[in-house]
Amino acid sequence: MNFEELKQYIMQGIQILKLDRNIIRETAEDPRAFTLALIVVAISGLASAIGHLKLLGLIFYPILAVVFFLIMAGVYHLLAGIVFKGSGTFNALVQVMGAAYIIQWVAIIPILGVFVSWLASLWLLVVAVVILEEVYHLDRTQAILSVAIPMCTVFVLILVAISMLGTAILSVLAR
């Protein structure tokens, strides 16, 4: 891998963010893209650390970004590939989603980057649906469900955690 390949991969990422289905299919079939995907995701973690002004984050954020990205890709793969019987592969998904992760580089903007990155994440959900349609040959409903089910699950878990925390705080205050 050299700088020119990374530059080309970044350009593919821009096209993927524009929902270019031909580039999505092309990137999914490029075995060199797996390593490039992990590099782009690690850079997004680095950008987040810089945007959050966290010195230790320069080490941990890139690692956490890659780990959470791979977990997310694994969940999408389980839903799209196993539950909905899609024909794509985990590697192809990582290769394409990784390219789309360049959108998370906006997190490098101090203070404002957190908000802009959140908005970018919303667009990334839309992009994920199109990627799942192309990589796994799913219909739109199956692709949406593959993205929505994990998001709803996380939302419910957060609500449960907040509820439990609130209950614990109220029981301590009631004493």
Task: Give domain status of residue 8, yes or no.
Answer: yes
Residue 9 structural domain: 3-148
CB 72, CB 79: distance < 8 Å: no
Task: Give domain status of residue 173, yes or no.
Answer: no
Q: What is the pLDDT of residues 121-134, one digit of tens each?
A: 999 999 999 999 99
Task: Give domain status of residue 130, yes or no.
Answer: yes
> Residue 9: pLDDT band by 50, 70, 90 thresholds?
very high
Average confidence (pLDDT) over 3-10: 94
Task: Give domain status of residue 84, yes or no.
Answer: yes
Q: What is the pLDDT of residues 13-24, one digit of tens each?
A: 999 999 999 999
Residue 99 has pLDDT above 90, yes or no: yes
Residue 156 has pLDDT above 80, yes or no: yes
Task: Give domain status of residue 172, yes or no.
Answer: no
Distances (CA, A) of 71 to 25, 90, 163: 22, 11, 26
Task: Give domain status of residue 13, yes or no.
Answer: yes
Candidates 92, 74, 77, 75; CA nearest to 28 is: 92
In angstroms, the CA 115 to CA 121 distance is 10
How many domains is the chain partitioned into structurally? 1
Task: Give domain status of residue 68, yes or no.
Answer: yes
Task: Give domain status of residue 167, yes or no.
Answer: no
